[in-house]
Amino acid sequence: MADYDSGVLLDDLPDGLPEEDYWDASELIDVPRKEKPDEHGIYRPLATPTTIAIAFINGSEEFLRIGHSHYRSDGTSQTHAALFEAGNPWPQAYLDLGTDPFPSVNNYSRNLSIDSAPDANLLVTGHAFDGGITVYRYDPEERTLAKEWVGR
């Protein structure tokens, strides 16, 4: 799968080329970013390729790559999951899991608290704090993810 900023690593090239020549970024889409820059002037991405879970969301055709993130009260939590088509290394969309309640993406040991019912287009995540689950419904026509139910 592609890195969200660099693309796909081309590992069959000879040594000694400039770093950017080893990456194919031809089909990357823009990563959602924080609306305001941080104290360093950087618009932080709201998705991360540091994977905590993979979940099929539309039969065996599409899946979500859900990244590891910590809660940040300033809105920089990286809770957007990347949507991929099976067999295609390029992200197709970024779908927001939200932060209220915060999904169980803050600890690698919580990866089993994320699951899906791909034939029903459902994703379920545990909550990072205070227990409970959130159920999301994926719309394959619109490629959107909507929070459908929150149980505490």
Where are the strands (E) in the chain, listed by range?
8-9, 23-24, 51-58, 62-67, 80-85, 91-96, 114-117, 122-126, 133-139, 144-151
Mean pLDDT, 10 residues at a time, over the chain (152 residues)? 94 87 95 92 93 97 97 90 98 97 92 96 95 97 97 90
Q: What is the pTM of this model?
A: 0.92
Q: Please, which residues have CB within 8 angstroms of residue 33's CB and are 6 or more apart in sequence?
A: 43, 44, 45, 46
